[in-house]
Amino acid sequence: MTQTAISETQQASNGAVQPMLEVRDLKVYFPVTKGLILPRQVGSIKAVDDVSFNIMPGETLGLVGESGSGKSTAARTIMQLIRPTAGEVIIDGQDLSKLKGAQLRQTRRRLGIVFQDPVGSLNPRMSAGNIVGEPIKIHRLHQSGQDFRDKVAALLKTVGLNAGMANRFPHEFSGGQRQRLGVARALAAQPGLIVLDEPVSALDVSIQAQIINLLQDLQEQLNVAYLFIAHDLSVVRHIADRVAVMYLGKIVEITTKEKLYANPAHPYTKALLSAVPIADPILDRKRQRIVLDGDIPSPMNPPPGCVFSTRCPVAIDECSSYVPELRETSPDHGTACIRATGYGAE
């Protein structure tokens, strides 16, 4: 049912498939103030700086970065939980960042979100059925009490839980089951896109794979698109179609999964990939190891020029003065680095 609904809206426009989500020049700046009584703005933290990407229906975009890279802020801004400083978040042709009140709530139904913490994101005093069914109630998607219970039961079944578990409370579920509840809730209002903010980071490794497989199955059945946020490049490799790498508020590289893992172009992506050890001592010892110096710089005081230049192993003088924009370095492969092959073509 969801699948047909989505494809109908797509075809309704002009025959061509429209992106499910379009993010254009998104900026989120947080003011930094000084003074308790008469606060004045002394600077700003550029948490998200000029970020643009599309996600097609049924597609998964992985958004990868270390802590402080702005990936979670980007996710929250897409959901309008944080309002952007500038830029557009377009869903079904409507710019969410311009909407307010009832209209915003109505359009935001097209988005679902799953949070990282499977304990903190479920109200301990609500039954599993009411947690999962809350979006149905809010958007009045049910005809009767019986219909509500049927819908909740169907959702629980979709995520691999028993319909009979609706009366249980969150503490009666294991970590993996709680995350399944989170996924069921995100699906309740039949969204076209689900934002998954580190959905498996808090789970034990043997449980992670269960949730990843569930997400892949659901995508196949419902044609739902995912924005999958993670610090873990190996998980993203399994679930994403395309991957965007963020550093200090900017996307430094964006391309298909195949290209990113086989031919990373940005030195930061290369370092990030080499820092993840693989579980095979013989193969791992053959891999190139790039160990970066220092920490990610403070976003309040980012370095001039390329934000990665202070830690970059291949930086040249020009890097500390020239701000590289995201450019297509090969077909379907965007890189923001003047040292990348194909960047200075013209």
Partner 1 sequence: MSLLEVKNLSTYFDTESGLIKAVDDVSFTIESGEILGLVGESGCGKSVTALSVMGLVPSPPGRIVNGEVRLDGVDLLALSDAELRQIRGRRIAMIFQEPMTSLNPVLTIERQLTEPLELHMNMTRRQAATRSAELLDMVGIPDPEERLWGYPHQLSGGMRQRVMIAMALSCEPELLIADEATTALDVTIQAQILELMQDLTSRLNTALLIITHNLGVVARYADRVNVMYAGKIREKGKAIEIFRDPKHPYTVGLLNTVPQVEGPLSERLEPIEGDIPDLANLPPGCSFQPRCRWATEQCGVEDPTLTELTDGHVTACWEHALVNKGKVLA
Q: Which stretches of the chain bind partner 1, using CB under 8 A? A: 66-67, 174, 176-177, 204-210, 212-213, 216, 231, 233-235, 237-238, 261, 271-285, 287, 289, 291-293, 295-296
Q: How many CB atoms lie within 10 A of CB 270?
A: 17
Nearer to partner 1, 87 or 267 (CB): 267
> How many Å separate Cα 3 from the centre of its chain?
21
* Least spacing, CB of residue 96 vs partner 1, in Å: 30
Residues present in the chain in total: 346
Is residue 53 within 8 Å of 244, Cβ to Cβ? yes
* Least spacing, CB of residue 10 vs partner 1, in Å: 26
3-state SS, one letter per residue, for 197-220 = ECCCCCCCHHHHHHHHHHHHHHHH
Q: How many CB atoms lie within 10 A of CB 86?
A: 12
52 burial (CB, 10 Å; 0-12 / 13-18 / 19+) is: middle
Nearer to partner 1, 27 or 238 (CB): 238
Nearer to partner 1, 110 or 198 (CB): 198
* Least spacing, CB of residue 71 vs partner 1, in Å: 12
* Least spacing, CB of residue 261 vs partner 1, in Å: 7
* Least spacing, CB of residue 245 vs partner 1, in Å: 12
* Least spacing, CB of residue 205 vs partner 1, in Å: 6
Nearer to partner 1, 234 or 321 (CB): 234
Nearer to partner 1, 62 or 334 (CB): 62
CA distances from 103 to 13, 97, 141 (A): 21, 11, 16
What 196-199 contacts at long range (C-beta under 8 Å, 24+ apart), as own/partner pairs, is 196/113, 196/114, 196/226, 196/227, 196/228, 196/229, 197/72, 197/75, 197/113, 197/114, 197/115, 197/116, 197/229, 198/72, 198/116, 198/229, 198/230, 198/231, 199/114, 199/115, 199/116, 199/228
Is residue 171 within 8 Å of 133, Cβ to Cβ? no
Nearer to partner 1, 48 or 273 (CB): 273
* Least spacing, CB of residue 299 vs partner 1, in Å: 13
Nearer to partner 1, 280 or 317 (CB): 280
